[in-house]
Amino acid sequence: MIEIFSSFNSVFSAPVISAIFVGSVLGIIVGVLPGIGPGVAIAVLLPLTYGMSPLAGISVLLGIYCGAFYGGAITSILIRTPGEASSIMTMFDGYPLAKKGQAGRALSVAFMSSFVGGIFSAISIALLAPYIAKFTSRFGAPEFSATAALALMCIAKAYKGQFAISMMSLGFGLFMGTIGIDQTSSENRFTFNRPELLTGVPLVPVIIGLFGIAQGLILFATKPKLLTIEIPDSELSWKGFLEPFKYKVTLFKSVLLGTAIGVLPAVGAALSTSLSYFEARRTSKNPESFGQGNPEGIVAAEAANNSNSGGAMGTVLTLGIPGDAVTAIIMGVFIVHGVYPGPQLFVEKPELAYGIFSSLVIINIVIFAILLMTTKYIVRLVKVEERILGLVILALCFIGAYSSATSYYGVFIALVFGFLGWGCAFLHIPVIPMALGLVMGDFFESSLRQTLNISSGSWLIFWDRPIAGSIVLLTLLILIWPLFSYIHKGLKRSTS
Amino acid sequence: MTPRHAESLACAFMGLAGLVMIIATPHLIAGHNSDQPYYLQSAFFPWVALTIVCVFGFIGALQAFAGVERVQSDEIESGDSSVVLGVLGMVIFGSSVFVSLTFGYAIAVWISALALGLLARLSFKSSILISSLLAVALYGIFVIGFKVWFPTAWILN
């Protein structure tokens, strides 16, 4: 508890507060701008964090991450265009309310619900994290390798209907992570005598390429559209801010659900918002009003949406496992700064670990304050031309990739992966598993080889340890469950 | 070729490439020692990763061919973006490295942003304005502000 309060000291320093402010503003803008998600923005703006302290750098990115959740609600409510999958549920009731001339009320409800969700999840995970870290500090190599396998499996599983393709993408990411000098044997793997490849494929240009360049090219090559967007009046109201508290049970349930789902790797905010929304509708006395402008629907969706951020950061910090593209990139920033997330972080650098949660609390307050003052101006950004955005993103990607190693080699790598990401977007092959595979490959390989080294190559070591065994069992169950389900359905069909 | 077939073909290619790489792995590791226990060999984990690529590449090819329903995700969507424009954009992006080496960073940003703007059918005036603003802003922030070093332009040598 003391650590949490004392961590506010490190947050209340000029560089970190400025970073929080810049990140929050950028996040809101990114959430409102068409076609850009927080992943792309974070990838493109990653180089800005190089000269900063780890806490300041991560605060910028967290500001973008959280700000985009708030910003996404604006476009969902006002112009029926959810920027992110997680904002779809907000649109269901937000847009009808805006059409009734109550856009300001809908936005106020959404912002306050997001605010409560963000603050609650940051504080609750900060309180729980030491216990989780204490538990995971007992983990050895077998437990870590089993957890990494489970996390990777969850990531692939998140792509319903595309499990095999996302596993393929994940495998490719893991393979890319093996390029360079092998830390165990010091042998050069797939380096083709190129000295640049000895240290492996650089993460930052890869991320810039996969997310930034790919998105930039798609936006730049988008056919020009006739912009006929009518933005309704969006004056925020204090009455609207108090409205979420009328639905206390929904608010509480959504925040809990969002935080809990945020902890799970890869499940993501989209699922938590839909679960909360449908749960709110199921338990409502007036379920037929959902989808027609019921503020309770906005409360359920937005509270769950923003509470994901705290949960997701909890997993990264206590286990060292990123759950989505954004947390994977944030983990990349940790690594760039020589900080390795995991249970030891709470022992070795408590001011950083707790500082991140304190920073999340401050970020939510700053975003809320910014939105109070600027919403009616920010909404105009929805009219920005996608082609211009693409152009700006490409220019930022060039300097970002170059400055990652102060060399054109970074630009070359970004271009190669940009081409790959762009091609994957057309072929509907997910690239987030690829990025996560690359980020986690090293950790997975070292813990797996260490495990097998302890057991002299016997895989039965996982069964000798209850925690590792349970995790492996869960992973296998997730893997073969569709097969069981398929056989069960087949049997049912044949008997009927 | 339908997008479904293209996706299926890409997965099959990845599966095949994975298979070829599994066989080629020991030859692509300098000083690979195959006499060691399997878990100590540096080829162990690449084999694990490539097996995943190979197996799921072929399964994915079959799934894509059969047509699967996708869920909404945070992945980049191609939408109605033009492939030809995208390729040309990539060429301009790649060639801006050479322009930067020859004329310096700021001019490279200006030229490539102008070319991209015109290619994207923005008006000449808008293209000039955006490319000039971008060149000045990025040079100011990164080169002057963050002190990102660029080699001296060839033209100045």
Give yes or no: residues B58 and B89 share one domain: no
pLDDT band of A37, cuts 50, 70, 90 = confident
CA-based nearest distance A275→chain B, Å: 15
Quote the Cα angle for A335-A41-A254, to 5°. 90
For the residues A59-69, what does the mean pLDDT come to?
88
CA separation, residue A80 to residues A51, A73, A234, A342 (Å): 39, 10, 14, 40
The confidence score (pLDDT) of residue A297 equals 92
**8 A C-beta contact, residue B78 and residue A496:** no
CA-based nearest distance B73→chain A, Å: 6
Contact (CB<8Å) A85/B74: yes
Among candidates A264, A275, A258, A301, which has minimal Cα distance to A118?
A: A258
The confidence score (pLDDT) of residue A228 equals 62
Query: Residue A39: which of B6, B74, B86 has the nearest Cβ?
Result: B74
* Distant-in-sequence, close-in-space partners of B1: CB < 8 Å, separation ≥ 6: B9
Give yes or no: residues B55 and B89 share one domain: no
- Please report whether residue B48 resides in a domain: yes
Among candidates A75, A74, A176, A69, which has minimal Cα distance to A118?
A: A69
Cβ atoms < 10 Å from Cβ of A52: 18
All residues of chain A having their beta carbon less than 8 Å from the beta carbon of residue B142 are: 47, 399, 403
Least confident of B49-58, B62-71, B72-81: B72-81
For the residues A84-98, what does the mean pLDDT come to?
84
Range of the domain at B32: 3-66
Instruction: Name the range with the highest mean pLDDT among A216-230, A252-266, B66-80.
Output: A252-266
Give yes or no: residues B94 and B149 share one domain: yes
Give yes or no: residues B61 and B97 share one domain: no
Q: Is the pLDDT of residue A51 over 80?
A: no
Quote the Cα angle for A355-A317-A250, to 5°. 85
- Please report whether residue B89 resides in a domain: yes
For the residues A58-74, what does the mean pLDDT come to?
87
In tens, the pLDDT along A334-345 reads 777 777 787 788
Task: Among B40, B66, B92, give the residue marking a domain's end.
Answer: B66
For the residues A191-216, what does the mean pLDDT come to?
89
Give yes or no: residues B19 and B46 share one domain: yes
- Please report whether residue B71 resides in a domain: no
* Percent helix, percent strand, percent coil in chain A, to nearest 5: 80, 0, 20
All residues of chain A having their beta carbon less than 8 Å from the beta carbon of residue B116 are: 220, 390-391, 394
Q: Per residue in A303-334, is it b (16+ CB within 10 Å) or e — as a string?
A: bbbbbbbbbbbbbbbbbbbbbbbbbbbbbbbb
Query: Residue B52: which of A170, A182, A395 has the nearest Cβ?
Result: A170
- Please report whether residue B119 resides in a domain: yes
Check CB contact of B81 with chain A, cutoff 8 Å.
yes
Contact (CB<8Å) B74/A387: no
- Please report whether residue B134 resides in a domain: yes
Query: Per the structure, how many domains does chain B have?
Result: 2
CA-based nearest distance B70→chain A, Å: 6
DSSP letter at B29 equals E
The confidence score (pLDDT) of residue A31 equals 83
* Distant-in-sequence, close-in-space partners of B40: CB < 8 Å, separation ≥ 6: A184, A185, A449, A453
Task: Among B38, B66, B94, give the residue marking a domain's end.
Answer: B66
This prediction has a pTM of 0.84
Which of B39, B132, B138 would best serve as a mutation to test chain A binding (most A beta carbons within 10 A)?
Answer: B39
All residues of chain B having their beta carbon less than 8 Å from the beta carbon of residue A184 are: 40, 42
CA-based nearest distance B116→chain A, Å: 7
CA nearest B84 in A: which residue? A221
Which of A391, A444, A449, A455 would best serve as a mutation to test chain B binding (most B beta carbons within 10 A)?
Answer: A391
Percent share of chain A, pLDDT over 90: 27
CA separation, residue A102 to residues A114, A293, B11 (Å): 18, 9, 48
- Please report whether residue B78 resides in a domain: no
Give yes or no: residues B99 and B146 share one domain: yes
The confidence score (pLDDT) of residue A421 equals 93
Task: Among B66, B100, B118, give the residue marking a domain's end.
Answer: B66
All residues of chain A having their beta carbon less than 8 Å from the beta carbon of residue B105 are: 399
A244 vs A231: CA distance, rounded Å: 24
The confidence score (pLDDT) of residue A179 equals 95
The strand pair at A180-181 and A188-189 is best described as antiparallel
The confidence score (pLDDT) of residue A213 equals 92
* Percent helix, percent strand, percent coil in chain B, to nearest 5: 70, 0, 25
The confidence score (pLDDT) of residue B103 equals 93
- Please report whether residue B34 resides in a domain: yes
In tens, the pLDDT along A260-301 reads 888 876 666 777 888 889 888 888 888 888 888 899 999 999
**8 A C-beta contact, residue A220 and residue A387:** yes
Secondary structure (3-state) at A289: helix
Rounded to 10 deg, the angle between the A432-454 and A163-176 helix axes is 70
CA-based nearest distance A434→chain B, Å: 11
Give yes or no: residues B90 and B144 share one domain: yes
Give yes or no: residues B14 and B49 share one domain: yes
Contact (CB<8Å) A441/B3: no
- Please report whether residue B15 resides in a domain: yes
In tens, the pLDDT along A131-176 reads 888 888 888 899 989 988 888 887 788 777 788 899 999 999 999 9
The confidence score (pLDDT) of residue A451 equals 94
B100 vs B106: CA distance, rounded Å: 8
A339 vs A355: CA distance, rounded Å: 14
Q: Is the pLDDT of residue A404 over 70?
A: yes
Query: Residue B138: which of A160, A192, A399 has the nearest Cβ?
Result: A399
Cβ atoms < 10 Å from Cβ of B44: 23
A492 vs A486: CA distance, rounded Å: 10
Give yes or no: residues B60 and B87 share one domain: no
For the residues A396-410, what does the mean pLDDT come to?
88
Give yes or no: residues B43 and B105 share one domain: no
Tokens (6 digits) for A482:
């569709």
**Chain A to chain B, count of Cβ pairs less than 8 Å apart?**
256
